[in-house]
Chains A and B, each alone.
Chain A
Amino acid sequence: MGMTITQKILARHCHKEFVEPGELIMADVDLALANDITGPVSIEEFKKAGGKKVFDREKIALIPDHFAPNKDIKSAGLCKTLRDFAKEQQIVHYYEVGRMGVEHALLPEQGIVLPGDLVVGADSHTCTYGALGAFSTGVGSTDLAFAMMTGKCWFKVPETIKFIYHGKLNPWVTGKDLILYTIGDIGVDGALYKAMEFTGDALKNLTMDERFTMTNMAIEAGGKNGIMEPDDITIEYAKARAKRDFEILRSDDDAKYCQIIDYDVSKIEPQIALPHLPENTVGISEVGNISIDQVVIGSCTNGRLEDMRIAAKVIKGHKVHPDVRLIVIPATQNVYRQMITEGIIEIFIEAGAVVSTPTCGPCLGGYMGILAKGERAVSTTNRNFVGRMGHPESEIYLASPAVAAASAVKGRIAHPEEVAKI
Chain B
Amino acid sequence: MIYKGKAWIFGDNIDTDVIIPARYLNTTDPAELASRCMEDVAPGFSKKINAGDIIIAGKNFGCGSSREHAPLAIKASGISCVIARSFARIFYRNSINIGLPILECEEAVDSIKAGDELEVDTDTGVIKNLTSGGIYTAMPFPDFIKGIIQAQGLLNYARKAENRNV
Contacts and interface: CB of A to CB of B under 8 A. Distances in A.
A145 interface: yes
B47 interface: no
A136 interface: no
B17 A222 contact: no
Given A188-B13, A365-B22, A49 B66 contact: no
A176 interface: no
Nearest to A382: B64
Leading 9 A-B pairs by shortest Cβ distance: A140-B94, A74-B26, A49-B155, A142-B97, A140-B68, A189-B60, A364-B22, A124-B66, A392-B40
A224 B25 CA distance: 24
17 contacts: A41-B28, A44-B28, A48-B155, A71-B26, A124-B64, A138-B90, A141-B94, A142-B94, A146-B154, A146-B158, A188-B60, A189-B88, A192-B60, A219-B64, A224-B89, A386-B17, A387-B40
A222 B67 contact: no
A111 interface: no
Contacts of B65: 123-124, 364, 383
Contacts of A145: 155
A386 B23 CA distance: 13
Given A49-B155, A387-B18, 4 more contacts: A41-B28, A74-B26, A222-B63, A365-B17
Contacts of B140: none
A125 B154 CA distance: 23
A37 interface: yes
Contacts of B13: 188-189, 277
Nearest to B25: A37
Contacts of B67: 37-38, 140
B97 A222 contact: no
B66 A365 contact: no
A376 interface: no
Interface of A: 37-38, 40-41, 44-45, 48-50, 66-67, 71-72, 74-75, 77-78, 121-124, 126, 138-143, 145-146, 188-189, 192-193, 219, 222, 224, 277, 364-366, 370, 383, 385-388, 392
Given A122-B66, A123-B66, A366-B23, A49 B89 contact: no
Nearest to A224: B89
Interface string B38-79: 001100000000000000000110011111110110000000
Contacts of A370: 23
B66 A387 contact: no
A138 B91 CA distance: 10
Contact of B26 (A67, A126, A192): A67
Given A189-B13, A192-B86, A386 B66 contact: no
Contacts of A50: 159
Contacts of A122: 66, 68
Contacts of B121: none
B97 A140 contact: yes
A140 B159 contact: no
Nearest to B22: A364
A121 to B, nearest CB: 8
Contacts of B89: 192-193, 222, 224
Nearest to B154: A142
B144 to A, nearest CB: 10
A123 B72 CA distance: 16
B93 interface: yes
B98 interface: yes
Given A192-B89, A385-B18, A140 B66 contact: yes
B17 A387 contact: yes
Most B C-beta atoms less than 10 A away, residue of A71, A123, A392: A392
A78 B41 CA distance: 27
Nearest to A388: B17
A45 B28 contact: no
B15 interface: yes
Given A188-B60, A386-B41, A38 B21 contact: no
A32 to B, nearest CB: 13
Interface in B119-166: 153-156, 158-159
Contact of A41 (B69, B90, B154): B69
A386 B18 contact: yes
Contacts of B22: 37, 66, 364-366, 388
Interface in B92-108: 93-94, 97-98
A230 B105 CA distance: 40
A60 to B, nearest CB: 17
A33 to B, nearest CB: 11
A385 B15 contact: yes
Nearest to B87: A192
A386 B40 contact: yes
Contacts of A72: 26
A66 B66 CA distance: 13
B66 A222 contact: no
Contacts of A40: 28
Most A C-beta atoms less than 10 A away, residue of B26, B64, B69, B86: B26
Contacts of B21: 365, 387
A38 B63 contact: no
B86 A364 contact: no
B161 to A, nearest CB: 12
